[in-house]
Structure 1
Amino acid sequence: MSVDSSSNSSLHHAFEDCAIFRKSIPVYVALCISLLLLFPLFILVLCVGCQRWRKQRSAAAAGPVTSHSDVFTFNMVVLELIGILGLCLNFFGAYNNQPGVLRVGSLMAAITVPGESLFHLLTCVERYLAVVHPVTYLGLKQTGGVRIRNVIIGCVWLLCWGLSSLSEFSYRFLTISTLVLLLFSTIAVAYCSLTALCVLIRPGPGEVGGKRKPADQSKQRALHTMMAVAGTLLLRFLGSFVATITQFSSDLNDIDKCLVILSAAWFCLPSSLVLPLLFLHRAGKLPGWKHNTHCICLK
């Protein structure tokens, strides 16, 4: 399995284009298989979401409203599925020496990183509001808040496709802008987590510092969500940072660059898992976990 790399020099050694080098193919295939193994997980999340939506429609206004964080999770899962399809097309194009298919696959996979970062950030902002500004949070659960959420989601998708399209003109700009966006999301999520932690450990009115009552379980779980997302985003940023530095380094040859980039990509896998697993945990769909009616949804 090999492809003439000289005909694809304009691809600037993007992560997906490492499939064209013979020595990096085993590592690339292993990573693709790992992502494909996540496919059933993503499909399960969407199926559970569809079941909830049907129950809400049948129950009319009396049914529970889907939380904003769940909607963000559904959108992130769709992004992941598009990214997996893009990797499959990328590998198919490399295997069959079809640069057009290779390019389409790269464009589809390129939307995953900025989209994931933003949907993780939006999820943590909602959790932050639930803990720190509960009145504002309750207001956003109304119709006006749903409209704001939908507009923001539309803007995220437009930004993702816009950044992906820029790779046709300047892959360097795409890589750097995506890394900056990931850094901003990581810092913002860390700030939300620390602020929420300070609120939960701060004594309330009339309470002595060492004798405050335990925080509400739903707020504690919201904090745990933010901390988990912050940790996975930090891992993704470290992996992306190493990959970016390696990509623009002049000290390594093309094959060594791909090997380092593919190795760094493993740090991105936890961020693909955290929101789907938390959603399934809340829904009681994970083996060994009981459904908790006082879940993180903060309904």
Structure 2
Amino acid sequence: MTVNSSFSSNDSLPDCLFTRPTSFFFITYYITNILLLLPLCILVLYLGLQRWQQQHSTSTAAAMTHSDSFTYHMVTMELVGVLGSIFGFCGVFVDRVHISWLGHFLWIFTWYGEMFFHILTCVERYLAVVHPVTYLSLRGERGIRIRNISIGCVWLLCVGTTICMTLKYSLVVAFCFLILSLIIVSFCSLSVLCVLIRPGPGEQGGDRERVDQSKRRAFYTILAILGVLLLRSSANLAWTVVHMLRESRDCSATAAEIWFNLPSSLVLPLLFLHRAGTLACCKNNS
């Protein structure tokens, strides 16, 4: 999903979508987005439904974690983005601008949703590692209430920011949220990495090697996530700044920029499947 089309006049999106060769890059992105995210999101929701049924059938089943809850909502938003890709592809393929615009609104909605849920996930990870006592106190009803309110606010913000794309200052709104996201994600992730580097209490004796291996895997995982999110934020921020300073748009840059958003769309679903031991490459290491 991309915010690019929302930051310009209403006639600029058709110029990019229906002008060759950029239309080819958009169509390729739509197809890739559908083929990668649709089965991934369906699998995550299927596993989530299985866990929910297990939780209601036995009292010994573990309760839903905050991270899993964010992931379920994230993949639901990704399905909205997949629907947007379908509309976008059909609009370009049959040369219908209004269909492409419908898909574009869905992309904007999902793009903001990705950013907000990545922020919530990074904050949750920060509390779990840097402030574990506070995090444990939020695993009860109070924490669940805060989590649900935060998720509700994200959905409302996505609706509001999508509507803002029709306003004059939509570019400024996106710029502010991108800066906020970059600051929060960087601070939370770097704080977690610093904690993982330092030796903790109880890392002595025979357990030290096991703890070191676990922390090393967590360190590389957080580092990879941070790299993907920084790539997404930096690419979109650079695009936003350039188009804030210029009246016209470079369709080639726009077509290239949307691809920087794809890796961040895959992060949370793949992490969920990794934790669930579903990924074939991770089953032996889970």
TM-score by length of 2: 0.84
Q: Does 1:267 align with 2:260?
A: yes
Deviations 1:95-137 (A, max 9, x none): 4454443332221111122211111111111111111111111
Alignment length, in residue pairs?
275
Partner of 1:174: 170
- Alignment identity in percent? 46
Tell me the residue number matched to 1:5. Answer: none
| Structure 1 Cα separation of the partners of residues 16 and 274 of structure 2 | 35
Q: Distance in 1 between matches of 2:244 and 2:198?
A: 46
Rounded Cα–Cα distance in structure 1 between residues aligned with 2:51 and 2:202: 42
Bigger CA drift: 64-73 or 174-183?
174-183
Q: Can you give the 5+ residue segments of structure 2 that lack an aligned partner in the other structure?
A: 1-7
Q: CA deviation at 1:205?
A: 6.5
Higher relative contact order (CA 8 A, sep 6+): 2
* 2:134 equivalent in structure 1: 136
Q: Which position in structure 2 is the counterpart of 1:3? A: none
- Partner amino acid, structure 1, of 2:27: V
1:188 lines up with 2:187 in the alignment: no
**Secondary structure of residue in 2 paired with 1:46:** helix
CA distance in 2, matches of 1:206, 1:282: 25
Q: 1:191: how far off?
A: 1.3
Which residue in the other structure is 1:72 paired with?
70
C-alpha contact (below 8 Å) 2:34/2:86 kept by paired residues: no
On the 8 A contact 1:246/1:261 being kept in 2, the answer is no
2 CA distance for matches of 1:129 and 1:245?
32
Aligned equivalent of 2:90:
92
- Corresponding letter in the other structure for 1:190: S
* Distance in 2 of aligned mates of 1:198 and 1:54: 38
Contact 2:119 2:184 in 1 (8 A): yes
Give 1:176 deviation, angstroms.
3.3
Cα distance, 1:289 vs. partner? 1.8
1:38-53 alignment, distance < 5 Å: 38=36, 39-53=38-52
- The residue number in structure 2 matching 1:286 is 279
SS of residue matched to 2:58: helix
Q: Which residue of 2 aligns with 1:148?
A: 146
Which runs of 5 or more structure 1 residues have no equivalent in the other structure? Answer: 1-8, 294-299
TM-score (norm 1): 0.81
> Displacement of 1:47 after TM fit?
0.9
Q: CA deviation at 1:179?
A: 3.4
Correspondence for 1:103: 101
In structure 1, what is the Cα distance between the partners aligned to 2:216 and 2:143? Answer: 23
- 2:27 paired with 1:34: no
Matched residue SS, 1:43: helix
Selected match of 1:235 from 231, 245, 270: 231
Alpha-carbon contact 2:171-2:244 (below 8 Å) kept = no
In the alignment, the residues of structure 1 paired with residue 122 and residue 130 of structure 2 have an alpha-carbon distance, to the nearest angstrom, of 12
Q: Report the residue type matching 1:160 in the other structure.
A: C
Superposed CA deviations along residues 42-72 of structure 1, whole A, max 9, x for unmatched, are 1111111111111111113x21011111111
Which of the residues 257, 270, 274 maps onto 1:277?
A: 270
Deviation at 1:251, TM superposition (A): 8.2
Classify 1:84/1:218 alpha carbon distance in 2 versus 1 (closer, same or farther; 3 Å): same
1:152 Cα offset (Å)? 0.3
- The answer to whether the Cα contact below 8 Å between 1:228 and 1:274 also exists between their aligned partners in 2 is no
**CA–CA distance in structure 1, aligned partners of residues 29 and 120 of structure 2:** 27
Decide whether aligned partners of structure 1 residues 110 and 189 sit closer, same or farther in structure 2, where only a CA change above 3 A counts.
same
Q: Distance in 1 between matches of 2:85 and 2:270?
A: 22
Q: What CA RMSD, in Å, does the superposition of the two structures yield over aligned residues?
A: 2.8
Tell me, in whole angstroms, the C-alpha distance in 2 between the residues paired with 1:13 and 1:230: 33
Q: What SS is found at the alignment partner of 1:11?
A: coil
Greater Cα shift, 189-198 or 275-284: 189-198
